[in-house]
Amino acid sequence: MSRILRHFHNRKNHLQQEESVGAVGDVDNEVRPNCNSNNYSDNYTNEQAAAGGTMYNGENEEIVTSYYPSDIAIAWNEVNSSSEKYFQHGSVKKVTLLEHTLDSFYNKFFSDDAEFSLAAFHEQIGDTVKETSQWKLAQKGFHRSRFIALDHPVAGFGKAKTTKYQHCRIFDTLGLVVDSHIVSKGLPTLDCFYVEERILVTAVEGGGLTLSLMYQCVWIKPTWMKGIAERSVSLSFCEFFRVFMETVLRVRASSIEMIHNNVHGPVIRQMASSSAQGTAEYDTFEIVQNSIDSPRNLWCKSKIPPV
């Protein structure tokens, strides 16, 4: 009985600490700037906000896109070195894509007329896309911002009205990063947190790319449903990342065939059929879900038709 009482006492103290700081996102409970606010303290300047962890959220465009790095290489190294430390909840380990260039990858997956668009990925996992915008360029195209509005089904609760604000930065020939700030409403606890996501694409010397994906929940209010909400977010992003990675790797694998066929659908079906017969080996990737409240890791694997 005393153990149970201690548990509830500790939980109460934990919630009070969360409420006092306003936003908890890192495992060490470091207080970070609230991306939903345009008010920054005196020791956190607009330039630091633009260069650092603050993401485009639909209201802070001027701050986020006003910054242009004086040294592209240094700025790119900072993005790479800080990403894994900043995004705590989950990631896809680096996947090497030898047949892609930075331009071809952006054009195929992120451009306004992309063959495999963001909206298509969301439709594939059961979301209903309501509206999408085109990229708005700033600072000679270094910054690009857009949004997608959708209804996202949550098992047992209904549909969440969700807006995904995206901010792309292109670091010349070194790489690109696509950040997403995701807010939802219409269901319980959705006003207590938002989600941040990063897709990091790095050009490899000698040709090809490496691809990393990561995300985290950022809590701005305490709630007893935190664990339930984080599990729901983990499942949703695991599915989105799985669909995205499978599509990316299948495009890579079918690139030579696509030159002749010029259609993606039949190639995908043919490859999926041959792999289902057990006639081919597989590439694999892992999506690692890191729990803030538990040392255990949840993960899911996906098998991809070979190159």
| Confidence at residue 27, expressed as pLDDT on a 0 to 100 scale | 29
Contact in structure between 130 and 149 (CB atoms under 8 Å): yes
Full residue range of the structural domain in which residue 76 is found: 2-304
Q: How far apart are CA 273 and CA 271, in angstroms?
A: 5
Q: How far apart are CA 81 and CA 133, in angstroms?
A: 31
Residue 191 burial (10 A CB sphere; 0-12, 13-18, 19+): middle
More confident residue, 294 or 138: 138
DSSP 100-154: --HHHHHHHHTSTT-SS-HHHHHHHTT-EEEEE---EEETTTTEEEEEEEEEEEE
| Confidence at residue 298, expressed as pLDDT on a 0 to 100 scale | 33
Q: Is the pLDDT of residue 187 over 70?
A: yes
Residue 73 pLDDT class (50, 70, 90 cuts): very high
| Confidence at residue 105, expressed as pLDDT on a 0 to 100 scale | 92
Which H helix or E strand runs over 50? Answer: helix 46-51
| Confidence at residue 185, expressed as pLDDT on a 0 to 100 scale | 85
How many angstroms separate the Cα of 191 from the Cα of each of 66, 188, 223, 249? 28, 8, 10, 36
| Confidence at residue 272, expressed as pLDDT on a 0 to 100 scale | 32
How many angstroms separate the Cα of 18 from the Cα of each of 26, 29, 34, 218? 12, 9, 14, 11
Average of pLDDT values for 211-220?
Answer: 85
| Confidence at residue 57, expressed as pLDDT on a 0 to 100 scale | 74
Please name the amino acid found at residue 128: T
Residue 81 burial (10 A CB sphere; 0-12, 13-18, 19+): exposed
Q: How many domains does the chain have?
A: 1
